[in-house]
Amino acid sequence: ILVDEKYLAEDGNPDMEKMELIVFDPIHHSYIQLGEKVGNAFSDGKALK
């Protein structure tokens, strides 16, 4: 992917929070801004078992 350097984290990977991404919700005809991290992939779900 191509990402402007201002949206990169210290490790050189894209930083989703810096990008202030939005998604379209076609059901409610609205835009939702993506934001904060809410968990860790592949590990937080293990506590639910």
Segment 1-29, tens digit of pLDDT: 899 999 999 999 999 989 999 999 999 99
22, 33 in Cβ contact below 8 A? yes
CA atoms of 28 and 1, how far apart (whole Å): 30
Please report which confidence band the pLDDT of residue 47 belongs to, taking 50, 70 and 90 as the band edges: confident
Give the pLDDT score at 18.
92
Ordered DSSP codes for 1-49: ----GGGB-TTSSB-HHHHT-EEEETTTTEEEE-------TTTGGGGG-
Region 42-48: what's the mean pLDDT? 86
Instruction: Give the tokens for residue 25.
Output: 């919700």
pTM as predicted: 0.60
Q: Which residues pair with 8 in a beta bridge?
A: 14
